[in-house]
Structure 1
Amino acid sequence: MSQAATIIIADDHPLFRGALKQALTQSAGGTEIVEAGDFEEARKAARMHGEADLMLLDLTMPGGSGLTGLMMIRAEFQNIPVAVITASDDQATIRRAIELGASAFIPKSSGIEEIRTAISTVLEGGLWFPPGFDAGREHDPEIETLIGRLKTLTPQQTRVLGMIGEGLLNKQIAYELGVSEATIKAHVSAILLKLDVDSRTQAVIQMAKIGTAISA
């Protein structure tokens, strides 16, 4: 890693953030590191640094709900590439993260040089996966179908789905997104149709399956 960049490190372990920050700033002079200790802090950091070059996202941070957190970040901040960096490194989790828009998947067991290589690859516009990763098909047909349905949602619909999952009402979502309540109702109808469910509750249950899929 040689180029300077703005990188958001979103991880709830201060020691890990500190070690990663030190390694990255030593390898590229002028690199700006922004730290976040939970999912909401990660969102705030992304809003404040909309031109960030990369977010390193831990899937098990408080408030992140596993792969659902990745899906929400990708929907809300489409211009910021996301590299998942987590202790969960099974093939299914890696595959699902890639399907949901991760530019890299970096196991925390990786050595620092490997982490630097992964980050450099993403900063140069590439994708990086752990050595030996098999990009085969999803082994759980239900999750495979669900991910396929979720990928048909527009970024705004994904954000609306996330807010529904947070328990917000249509009028609250409309206020947060700066649109009319009628627009949100239209989004909700489209979400239910695309997910093949009949209610907001069922949609939240489907989304939760992605959040818990990290342990599958």
Structure 2
Amino acid sequence: MSPVFVVADDHPLFRGALTEILRSLPEPPTVVEAEDFDSAAAALVAHPEADLMLLDLAMPGTSGLSGLALLRAEHPGVPIAIVSGTEDPAVVTRALELGASGFIAKSSSLDEIRAAIAALMRGEVYLPKGVTPGVERDPEVGALIERLKTLTPQQTRVLTMLGRGLLNKQIAYELGISEATIKAHVSAVLQKLDVDSRTQAVISLSKLGLDLDAARAV
């Protein structure tokens, strides 16, 4: 049975290029493509035993690392490598802290991408040449990352929607659960993040660097 890879990128040309690279591997995988975050999440639901996901940080439907945090919480057994136009060491560090298995720069050559895939399939952590993740220099951000790791998948999903500016009623509709349940989730999220309001929760996420406008432009 061939391996299953999910390629999640909103740029058709780059997504197609990744797919062609994957299909040229010695053991060509089944490739599932996703053009936005919702279809990426649906792809993992449909293929929970996927061998690897290549995830763009700047797709419609999510902001930067928040998508990674959500998918890692929901599918802890699927390796997820970030594919991004940014090589900022701080972003790389935070991606790894949030559970990424590797980080591939979009400026990489075809051979480098093949080498990255091979390393990831061996269970190794792959990073771009010359990029070394450091230690989180901001103690507040480091503490926030640890708090994010304590959220359940549903709480992470709710937090992501708060970051999108959705109201409790809208979140309840999207998730198909009661508004009272959403209120309970929001309260739990605020407690775990050690903040007093939804606004403070969103501000905390911005400190983590979840809204990567520079990456979204690439």
1:32 and 2:30 aligned? yes
Cα distance in 2 for partners of 1:78, 1:184 equals 23
The AA in structure 2 aligned to 1:121 is: A
Which residue of 1 is the match for residue 175 of structure 2? 176
Seq. identity, %: 53
Q: Which of residues 10, 13, 18 is equivalent to 1:12?
A: 10
- Contiguous gaps of at least 5 residues in structure 2: none
Q: Answer yes or no: is the 8 Å Cα contact 1:24–1:31 preserved in 2.
A: yes
Aligned partner of 2:186: which letter? V
More deviation in 132-141 or 195-204? Answer: 132-141
Q: Alignment partner of 2:196: what SS?
A: coil
Match of 2:51 among 37, 53, 56: 53
CA change 1:205–1:54 in 2 (3 A) is: same
| Corresponding residue of 2:124 | 126
User: What is the distance in 2 between the residues matched to 1:127 and 1:134?
Assistant: 12
Once the two structures are TM-superposed, the CA of residue 127 in structure 1 deviates from its matched residue by 1.6
Q: Is the 8 A contact 2:171 2:182 kept in 1?
A: no
Is 1:188 the equivalent of 2:186?
Answer: yes
Runs of 4+ deviating beyond 6 Å:
none
How far apart are the structure 1 equivalents of 2:150 and 2:214? 24
Give the match for residue 41 of structure 2: 43
TM-score, scaled relative to structure 2: 0.84
Asked if structure 1 preserves the Cα contact closer than 8 Å seen for 2:87 and 2:131, the reply is: no
What value does the CA root-mean-square deviation take over the aligned residues?
2.6
CA distance in 1, matches of 2:110, 2:170: 46
**CA, structure 1 residues 175+113, in 2 after alignment: closer, same or farther (shift >3 Å)?**
closer
How many residues were matched structurally?
213
TM-score, normalised to structure 1's length?
Answer: 0.85
Task: Say whether the 8 Å CA contact 1:76–1:159 is kept in structure 2.
Answer: no
Aligned counterpart for 1:136 among listed residues 130, 134, 159 = 134
